[in-house]
Amino acid sequence: MAGYDDRDGWIWFDGALVPWRDAKVHILTHAMHYASSVFEGERCYNGKIFKGVEHSKRLLKSGELLDMPIPYTVEQIEEAKYAMLKANGWTDAYVRALAFRGAGPDMGVSAAKNPVRLAIAGWEWGAYYGDAKMKGAKLDISKWKRPSPETIPSAAKAAGLYMICTMSKHAAEAKGCSDAMMMDYRGYVAEATGANIFFVKDGEVHTPLPDCFLNGLTRQTVIGMLKDMQIKVHERHIMPEELEGFEQCWLTGTAAEVTPVGQIGDYNFEVGELVRRVALDYEKLVRA
């Protein structure tokens, strides 16, 4: 495929649909220098964005947490997403909403005088981890850790928080892995580079407590599904040495959807009945 900057199509940008190749910003855009941007990743299934309103609300909350008020309402953002999808003729697509500090009077750490801009793009995207949805993904263990919430608002989906994720994923791919699992600043199991993680032991599910990383909307959806299935879910701190005792593992995220994990470092997991059921039920839910 062509690079993401060289495609046919339309991107919604600051209130108007813009030809794909014309959706550009100035080199002195504040976000490019100081990571002053927040974003959402969403999926549209059969013409409907799954939990689109919740994603738009979280985008506004992320901007608020970064002292970057986004000048649009949830309703306006939702309208813009569907306008972009319609213009491109898509009913199944990934949707990326991005709000950022643009170029303006300020060009230092402070950027209060610079406008907050909003762009909404999309593209057709299959399984994030390819055939791992059947075989189970292989994960590395990252040397980088999720930071303390005292260093940055960890409830914000902020671009700057993802740099260590990019480095971790690059290192994992160099080892033949699909992704990397990260610990948090205390040494507890946290998440993958762009997805939350779940484990199974003795018919019960264990998942890290999201007290220093994003509590994903897909994560919350899957926990609700498990509880409806009368399966006990433990949201808690998980030590790395516990990995040896878990039987199954999976990742959740808008891009990842529900992806089984077959290996993390030296630990192996079964792509078992529960993870297959959760993946199937999630697929039915999002396409209902």
Closest CA to 118 of 52, 68, 54: 68
Q: 132-141 burial, b for 16+ CB within 10 Å, e for fewer?
A: bbeebbbbbb
Rg (CA), the chain: 19
DSSP β-bridge partners for residue 234: 206
Q: Which of 51, 81, 157, 169 is catalytic?
A: 157
CB 52 within 8 A of CB 42: yes
157 carries an active-site annotation:
yes
- Residue 212, both tokens: 């220093």
CB 240 within 8 A of CB 199: no
3-state class (DSSP) for residue 279: helix
DSSP β-bridge partners for residue 95: 42, 122
Instruction: List, in sequence order, the alpha helices (H) in the chain.
Output: 30-34, 52-65, 74-88, 132-135, 163-174, 217-228, 273-286
CB 34 within 8 A of CB 109: yes
Cα separations (Å) of 205 from 90, 150, 186, 210, 228?
36, 29, 22, 15, 13
Residues 6+ apart with CB under 8 A from 23: 11, 13, 119, 121
Catalytic residue positions, numbered:
157
